[in-house]
Amino acid sequence: MKKSLLIALIILSACKEKKKKVTTSTDVNKDSIAQIECIEKNLVPVHYLKGMDHKKSIPQIMREDDIAGVSIAFFDNGKISWQKTYGYSNLSDSIKVTPNTVFNGASLSKPVTALAALNLVEKGVLSLNADVNKYLEGWKIPENEFTEQEKVTLKRLIGHRAGFERYVQSSYFPNEEFPTITQMLTGEKPSVDPPVSVVYVPGQKQVYSNPGYSVIEKLIEDITNKEFNDVMTELIFEPCDMNNSSFEQPVPKHISQQMATGYTNDLEPYPYKLFPYKAAGGIWTTPTDLANFLVTVLDDHHANTNTILSKRMTDSVFAKTTERLGFAKIYNDKSTDLVFEHWGSNSGFTCYMVGSLNHKQGVVIMTNSDNGMSLMSYIARAVAAANNWDFLQPKIYNRFLINEVEMNKFKGKFKGGEEILEFEVIEEELNFLNETGASSKLVPVAENKFIQTNNNTLYEFLKNKQGEIKYVRMTKADGYNSDYLKQ
């Protein structure tokens, strides 16, 4: 239930209002306008039965998911092709989102930090494969049974393979004492987090780690003898024309005047807080600035402009391997293309950057909402479809014939956490039974896959080594999935 009727009316009005397209002066053309309209009105699920795509629009999903504001920047072949904003950066004051609205970029801080570190590697200041304790001053990674086997290196830190844990470090109110990066790493007051330590053998496995990026932050400050934001300004912000970006905590005045307020999933505002984990999640920025960053990286790769990195280094960044040097990557042997991406989420903010290497295109989406992940995945698919990318395209299924004997193998109850999914064969068709007992027919689309056409939820029944149905994987229309064990 909404806390305020006024807030609900404001957000509804924001979503319904037709916005004027905002682009650079060189990009005002009919093609851009047509593409914006195509994308914003043609959001489709990650999978659907042929002829039942249930298309939605950006404002429609914003209303359904209670998203206050959205800002998007699309780049194509070396320039920002178009920008578009929706909704409000501040509901109580009815301040609309503009291309200059600044959002917390959360984990989009990581690729920005990673490429700055790689720049220092190319300058000969750092080594990718040396023990980082060689460079750290005032604090070093504590030695233990794990570091005796392998050492923590910059390459492993960037790729989340350095052996650190996954947890998110704490944020602070502006009137609270703020820990230094060293206090965060040692766990000393005013930090309220545990000391950072290696808990796996470095290089053994990939575990997404915020503390690992705090080590990179300390490493960059120690090796340059400069404040982290000053280094990032010199190596990334200025070369990439990122004029509305900062890692400073608190945010500097010229940016704070443009800051969006973050909102919960029921449109309650979050108070402004400081993020001491700057490299891991402290950036405040705009989609325009991040799009300029990605354009610069792609120019370095395709045109060897060497603004941030050499062509040789970008070849490593975009190599078709599971190793991350700043971005996650989507690729296969059937395509010459590669899609690179990164997600971000802090309280009240969700964001996403994704690009196609061969198409030299990409999009940056930022929202001031806890609920933005699903919408951003829809927008990314629409961008991929509009520009014929090899990846992120929706999967379109046809009906598949299954006899009743085979269908009976899938009935029963499956449990995931506290949630139970129940399936029953009714009149020779598999049905999903919800918690009230109401049934929904499922359409077979493969020998072990069924789709619920009213909401485009896919159920994939998976077997154990003995060939028995062991669990079901439920994948929702936005692509997020959960596994349920058969009871």
Query: What pLDDT shows up at residue 168?
Result: 87
Q: Each residue of 393-423: pLDDT tens digit?
A: 999 999 999 988 899 999 999 999 989 999 9
Q: Each residue of 259-303: pLDDT tens digit?
A: 999 999 999 999 999 999 999 999 999 999 999 999 999 999 999
Q: Which CATH architecture has domain 105-395?
A: 3-Layer(aba) Sandwich (3.40)
Q: Is the pLDDT of residue 26 over 70?
A: no
Query: What pLDDT shows up at residue 435?
Result: 85
Query: What pLDDT shows up at residue 436?
Result: 85
**CB of 42 closer than 8 Å to CB of 60:** no
Mean pLDDT of the chain: 92
> What is the pLDDT confidence band of residue 10, given thresholds at 50, 70 and 90?
very low
Mean pLDDT of 128-141: 97
The helices-and-strands tally (H runs, E runs) of the chain is 14, 20
**CB of 382 closer than 8 Å to CB of 404:** no
Query: What pLDDT shows up at residue 12?
Result: 39
Residues of the chain above pLDDT 70, percent? 94
Torsion of CA 202, 325, 218, 277, to 10 degrees: -100
Instruction: Look at 69 and 4; give whichever has higher pLDDT.
Output: 69
Domain covering 399-486 assigned CATH 2.40.160 in the classification: no
pTM of the model: 0.90
Question: In the chain, what are the helix, strand and coil shares in percent, each to the nearest 5?
Answer: 30, 25, 45
Start-end of CATH 3.40.710.10 domains in the chain: 105-395
Start-end of CATH 2.40.128 domains in the chain: 399-486
Torsion of CA 155, 156, 160, 163, to 10 degrees: -160
Q: Is the pLDDT of residue 31 over 80?
A: no
Q: Is the pLDDT of residue 6 over 60?
A: no
Query: What pLDDT shows up at residue 15?
Result: 38
Residues of the chain above pLDDT 90, percent? 87
Q: Is the pLDDT of residue 17 over 90?
A: no
Q: Each residue of 142-192: pLDDT tens digit?
A: 999 999 999 999 999 999 999 998 888 999 999 999 999 999 999 999 999
Q: Each residue of 158-169: pLDDT tens digit?
A: 999 999 988 889
